[in-house]
Structure 1
């Protein structure tokens, strides 16, 4: 352009490039959620409060070291581990480290001048710095875990509680017509809240005249199997009533195969009970046999169906066994935690379970499910589930 000085255009172009680069960096920061100064980060209020708490603690330590030691800086660090993201937590750590440096300098100055109370002679010790640093490392690991899970700490516990309650609701036995009674008891291993054993039941058929129930045992125990049990209980609950009884276990087997879990197998027993006639059919997938007490004969009978474990191979076939519940009869379904023990055969455990259940006949079976779990398998560190159905 006429009248322009040589070299102006190149400088203008370089300035524009720098401006564009800064603008791109600014937009990138906003997309990653680090633009605190515009309030885009969700943890902005908590970050500001904890950041301002650091100089307050430093001031209190300088003025009242007896009541506010240098290790008091772990308080904002711990709160930040639960409230802030890792990127925010690093900035808070920088403020805490700066606070420790200020305290150390002030105490060093007091020692050199000989002023202040005797407690100033201690100051920021290496042990105090190590404590603050160790808590900071633990807090950063916790914040990274929360960031990976994507669940705020305030909601994490409530989500686990909701999941546990959902599993409990899915295990409830539906209301049965007069003359029929059922009880279910579930006890996770080690006193935990989640179990790899679960029970799912529903009224199906025309007029809801059929009770379908599934007692399942997922590989693993306790918390390790609880997530898989929750997923399977929802899937099994959706399959009940949607398919004929003979198609349930093949569909469940296909579902497990599609999950491709490392420990992707489970055992299950499926009961289809006609509430009008008392006729039933048991289909098993590698599960313990059912046990029926015949009131007329006064003895227990083992109802064993054949079938492979769920999630092992495709095209598995399941052969059922039929029976009938007359008045006074009891049908007992359970998982292996009720009968399995080190050094003892499963048949011995089943005999012990049937003997204990037989002892409860005189007092009635109401509340017997929990009593059986407490008395028969109280020393077994395994998940336990028990379903009792009887006809008056």
Structure 2
């Protein structure tokens, strides 16, 4: 009779180092271990500076102030800073420096401590500590950028896009979600402009891009904006509205349908006339204000040589100029780029009326 033998892996002994790591560095007592470490270091530095005034510079305490602000929760940080403040108040008067220099030194340390308390409160509110906490924001930004990655298009089609944030910030209120559906036979694109700009709208853009990315291809194109509007209404954001334009393009035939939710009207390049035409029809209300509304769609066909362009209001709007003037300026730059066979996106972005004061997004797809 065969016997089923199960081989068990012998557990490594729980050494002192592993116990310290499990319960001190990464476990529930981590904050206390870090606090105790900084407390011991603070005592050592203050004692050294107090014992050897002038020989051991007071500025060596500054790195401790910075590091403790990055790694300690606010309640522990304040305790460390109170001790350091008392130590500095006792130590600085003993330094062989002019009285004015001593006063400036104490003010500088006090200002640094106040700033680090603010930084610590902000970091621990989002659960990030240390030098790697920015990785969280970088990952979120990269996720937003990946949602706008263009898939491989079949022969005869070219596309380009750009999303630029206000003042070069890492997050933008404009974003795109792009995906090929129906086995790559259709291309769906949603260009969205969330209320606000830059970092103010970045978090809302991230949340909304994830939701719209999940809807893209999962619903009939005619239901996409309806579902997006219902989702945004349910969020209950104070600034809970967004404009959007959605494209469903058949890459086999060139047939397209466009839904518009309060967004600037897309434009179509006609190779026959050699000009851009504004597609004014099929515009519905902005997303996130009223549930249960419908969004009509504009339909057409792209023949060889034709193109479609979608853009955000940062391309054409400006406080000092009329909206129609901004549209004409954009169309002129785009027409010259089409004639010269240059990058339409670069031409349009470079002439944007808002400059870097607003988020800007452009998407162009052409049939060759």
Q: TM-score, normalising length from structure 1?
A: 0.80
Structure 2 residue corresponding to 1:296, chosen from 269, 272, 284 = 272
Structure 1 residue corresponding to 2:341, chosen from 343, 364, 374 = 364
Q: Could you say which residue in structure 2 is the equivalent of 1:77?
A: 65
Summarize deviations over 1:125-177 as a string: whole Å, max 9, x none. Answer: 44443333333233223222222222224342101100111111001111110
Summarize deviations over 1:44-92 as a string: whole Å, max 9, x none. Answer: 4543443233333334434553454445434322211111112322332
Pairs aligned (count): 343
Q: What is the deviation of 1:244?
A: 0.5
CA shift in 2, pair 1:143/1:380, >3 Å? closer
Asked whether the 8 Å contact 2:333–2:347 carries over to 1, the reply is no
Secondary structure of 1:360 counterpart: helix
Q: Could you say which residue in structure 2 is the equivalent of 1:51?
A: 39
Q: Could you say which residue in structure 2 is the equivalent of 1:247?
A: 223
**Unaligned regions of 5+ residues in structure 1, if any?**
1-34, 108-117
Secondary structure of 2:318 counterpart: coil
- The two structures, once aligned, show a CA RMSD in angstroms of 2.5
Asked whether the 8 Å contact 1:216–1:268 carries over to 2, the reply is yes
Structure 1 residue corresponding to 2:167, chosen from 170, 174, 190 = 190
CA distance in 1, matches of 2:101, 2:35: 25
Asked whether the 8 Å contact 1:71–1:129 carries over to 2, the reply is no
Q: Could you say which residue in structure 1 is the equivalent of 2:53?
A: 65
Asked whether the 8 Å contact 2:338–2:344 carries over to 1, the reply is no
Summarize deviations over 1:238-269 as a string: whole Å, max 9, x none. Answer: 10111101101110000010000011011001
Bigger Rg, which one: 1
Summarize deviations over 1:323-364 as a string: whole Å, max 9, x none. Answer: 111001111110111111123232221221111111112332
CA distance in 2, matches of 1:133, 1:351: 55
Q: What is the deviation of 1:286?
A: 0.6
CA shift in 2, pair 1:100/1:175, >3 Å? same
1:180 aligns with 2:180: no
Asked whether the 8 Å contact 1:54–1:99 carries over to 2, the reply is no
1:147 aligns with 2:147: no
Structure 1 residue corresponding to 2:246, chosen from 266, 270, 279 = 270
